């Protein structure tokens, strides 16, 4: 057994990524499955992926010494349980016990965005910074807080769940109620949903041309492509997304005064098309703006951060 090599998994909203990785965070092998939904499917997919990676490791003479998993939503890192992950339809899913029993390896469960935040601090855009915010915008929306040189978890390990922030008070004048949370407005699925609803009144939109009038084919990538062609609806959707984000980011800057905001997650692959409008929005809402930068660690950031946590690097 190689005590310097483990398996690290990142359970995300669209993919389940697994890698064989050593203490130096060098990735030896990598495999990926589509994200499952529901308790049983999530557990089975994780076990299948672990079995496949272990088989690959054995073929090259490596026996992993442990397992790190990072997952979204609310996680109990002490018991290795996913308390709730709405986007994956998971509730009270124990991972540590059944996986440890099956593979006879120690396992640790971490939060995905806080894992990514540690990776950014150690290897990415946060290197050399004592205070920053990592903002992940993908299937869900959450932040990791890196304050005074360490990741902040909160009293109950639930810090950073900004996707649940309501942008309009519940009650009279708000017919949508809690559905006007940040995540229901700016996440990848939310952007697609807003686009498909708006297309009913925009029959000439470039978005419809790109999907051959098939609304089921609308994606964030299609919206991005249409915006690059200066489609008015696509540009407006991105500007609105940026404005929603600017309200919340401005408040976070005024409250925490970080050195920068680091952006990660699928929707941020739009780059400056999204980042520049966010900068303008933040300037309207914050007392003082800070640099807004994109993560340079790509889709590996969560799994690399979980491995760093497992090895005790910078934690």
Q: What is the pLDDT of residues 27-84, one digit of tens each?
A: 999 999 999 999 999 999 999 999 999 999 999 999 999 999 999 999 999 999 999 9
Residues with Cβ within 8 Å of 260's Cβ and at least 6 positions away in sequence, in order, are: 125, 126, 129, 132, 133, 290, 291, 292, 293
Q: Which of 164-168, 183-187, 245-249 has the lowest mean pLDDT?
A: 164-168
Residues with Cβ within 8 Å of 169's Cβ and at least 6 positions away in sequence, in order, are: none
Domains detected in the chain: 5-117+299-311 (3.30.420.40), 128-296 (3.30.420.40)
Q: Are the beta carbons of 104 and 63 closer than 8 angstroms?
A: no
Q: What average pLDDT does this structure show over 159-171?
A: 83
**Band (174; pLDDT cuts 50, 70, 90):** very low
Question: What pLDDT shows up at residue 179?
Answer: 61
Distance CA 139, CA 218 (A): 15
Residue 168 has pLDDT above 80, yes or no: no
Distance CA 82, CA 41 (A): 14
Q: Which of 61-70, 159-168, 226-235, 279-288 has the lowest mean pLDDT?
A: 159-168
Residue 175 has pLDDT above 50, yes or no: no
Q: What average pLDDT does this structure show over 112-129?
A: 97
Question: What pLDDT shows up at residue 41?
Answer: 97
Q: What average pLDDT does this structure show over 98-126?
A: 96
Tell which residue, 23, 45, 47, has the closest CA to residue 34: 45
Average pLDDT, the chain: 93
Question: What pLDDT shows up at residue 166?
Answer: 86
Q: What average pLDDT does this structure show over 147-152?
A: 97
For the four alpha carbons of 162, 261, 138 and 11, in that order, the dihedral sign comes to: negative
**Band (173; pLDDT cuts 50, 70, 90):** low
**Band (170; pLDDT cuts 50, 70, 90):** low
C-alpha 212 chain-centroid distance = 30
Q: Which of 176-180, 231-235, 284-288 has the lowest mean pLDDT?
A: 176-180
Question: What pLDDT shows up at residue 178?
Answer: 44
Question: What pLDDT shows up at residue 288?
Answer: 94
Tell which residue, 208, 229, 238, has the closest CA to residue 137: 238
Residue 163 has pLDDT above 90, yes or no: yes
Residues with Cβ within 8 Å of 70's Cβ and at least 6 positions away in sequence, in order, are: 8, 9, 10, 11, 109, 110, 111, 112, 115, 116, 302, 303, 305, 306
For the four alpha carbons of 191, 74, 127 and 27, in that order, the dihedral sign comes to: negative
Question: What pLDDT shows up at residue 219?
Answer: 96
User: Per-residue pLDDT tens for 206-265?
Assistant: 999 999 999 999 999 999 999 999 999 999 999 999 999 999 999 999 999 999 999 999
Question: What pLDDT shows up at residue 28?
Answer: 96
- Strand locations in the chain, DSSP E? 5-11, 15-22, 27-34, 67-71, 74-76, 81-85, 90-94, 107-111, 132-137, 141-147, 150-152, 260-264, 292-294
Q: What is the pTM of this model?
A: 0.93
Question: What pLDDT shows up at residue 2?
Answer: 62
User: Tokens at residue 235, please?
Assistant: 């540009």
Tell which residue, 307, 302, 13, has the closest CA to residue 144: 302
Distance CA 44, CA 40 (A): 6
User: 244 by DSSP, 3-state: which?
Assistant: helix
Distance CA 241, CA 187 (A): 9
């Amino acid at each position: 057994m190689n005590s310097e090599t483990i398996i690290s998994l990142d359970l995300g909203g669209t993919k389940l990524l697994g890698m064989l990785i050593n203490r130096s965070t060098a990735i030896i092998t990598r495999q990926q499955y589509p994200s499952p939904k529901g308790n049983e499917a999530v557990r089975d997919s994780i076990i299948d992926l672990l079995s496949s990676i272990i088989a690959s490791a054995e073929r090259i003479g490596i026996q992993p010494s442990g397992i790190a998993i990072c997952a979204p939503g609310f996680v109990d890192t002490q018991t290795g349980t996913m308390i709730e992950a709405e986007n994956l339809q998971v509730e009270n899913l124990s991972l540590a016990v059944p996986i440890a029993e099956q593979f006879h390896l120690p396992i640790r469960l971490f939060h995905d965005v806080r894992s990514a935040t540690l990776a950014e601090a150690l290897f990415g855009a946060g290197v050399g910074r004592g205070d920053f915010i990592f903002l992940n915008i993908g299937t869900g929306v959450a932040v990791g807080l890196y304050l005074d040189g360490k990741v902040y978890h909160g009293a109950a390990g639930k810090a950073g769940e900004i996707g649940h922030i309501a942008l309009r008070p519940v009650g009279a004048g708000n017919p949508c109620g809690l559905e006007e949370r940040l995540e229901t407005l700016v996440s990848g699925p939310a952007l697609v949903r807003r686009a498909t609803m708006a297309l009913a009144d925009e029959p000439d939109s470039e978005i419809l041309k790109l999907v051959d009038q098939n609304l089921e084919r609308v994606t964030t990538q299609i919206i991005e492509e249409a915006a690059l062609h200066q489609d008015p609806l696509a540009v407006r959707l991105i500007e609105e997304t940026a404005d929603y984000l600017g309200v919340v980011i401005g408040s976070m800057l005024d409250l925490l005064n970080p050195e920068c905001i680091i952006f990660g997650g699928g929707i941020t692959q739009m780059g400056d098309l999204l980042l520049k409008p966010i900068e303008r929005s933040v300037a309207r809402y914050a007392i003082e703006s800070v640099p807004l930068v994109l993560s340079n660690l790509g889709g590996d950031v969560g799994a690399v951060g979980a491995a760093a946590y497992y090895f005790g690097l910078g934690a």
